[in-house]
Amino acid sequence: MGSNSCLNFAITHHCVYLSPSFSPKSKLHNPNPNHNQFLLSRSSFIPIATSSFALHSNHTLSHPRSKKLPLRNAPNFYVAASAKAEPLKVMISGAPASGKGTQCELITQKYGLVHIAAGDLLRVEVAAASENGKRAKEYMEKGELVPDEIVVMMVKERLLQPDSQEKGWLLDGYPRSSSQAAALEDFGIHPDIFILLEVPEDNLVERVVGRRLDPLTGKIYHLKYSPPESEEIASRLTQRFDDTEERVKLRLHTHHQNVEAVLSTYKDITVKAGMTNFSGWLISG
């Protein structure tokens, strides 16, 4: 398992840096002012929380320039973003058991971003009996899916609140369809970076199928990676009904379909984090 730290990136006057030591509050400068665009190099590591990932991008993420900076001469890794220093805006997507929840927690803590998850937001709005919450509740009480237009409005209004505007935000697991992404774009909501966590399906299935719940304490165990401390605990562990191999593969299929639909909107700012044999983030072009 990897070390308990997260992906590092910082927005500066010229670009978003991906580097082992930069922070958003650092007063950084463009190390190569003659170039407006930086390429992702092939051999730098940044530790993450739950496993090892490699970042992949087929795109350089800024305005064109006449001459490319050779990969061998690129000392750091950059993802170009706004020419104006602004609060960082991040979207992150990952399959069930990909470690997304842990990464979201670490990223928001490290960079002071507002963590926004559509599912949590929906529950909060319904509990608060807001206008959108009341509309959503009508569908939920009938066992129907809440329409995109309602959820998008909730997300938009949350992203435009003062704390999100001041601190920046991390939008977790949303949008999930091309129509949701298009709606956010229509509202002028666009991230600086879209992080996609990629883990081989066999690993994801193993993680989910091996999970067990202690109904007495609420603690989650894993038969292989975090086994129970005693036979007594092991004897009372239960498995969630949807943690079977068949059900998790169905969830993964749905996730992959959703991701493919969204990536076309954010292809120029997508950074893929793929699992490696190393204990850290590998940034590669």
Catalytic residues: 100, 176, 211, 240, 251
The single-letter DSSP state of residue 176 is -
Largest distance between two CA atoms of the chain: 68
Cα–Cα distance, 118 to 280 (Å, whole number): 29
Burial class (CB in 10 A: 0-12, 13-18, 19+), 251: middle
In total, the chain counts a number of residues equal to: 285
Contact criterion met (CB below 8 Å) for 166 and 87: yes
Cα–Cα distance, 184 to 163 (Å, whole number): 19
User: Could you give the count of Cα atoms lying within 13 Å of 37 in the half-sphere of its Cβ?
Assistant: 14
Q: What is the DSSP string of 206-261?
A: HHHHTEEE-TTT--EEETTTB--SSHHHHHH-B--TT-SHHHHHHHHHHHHHHHHH
CA angle 34, 36, 42 (to 5 degrees): 100
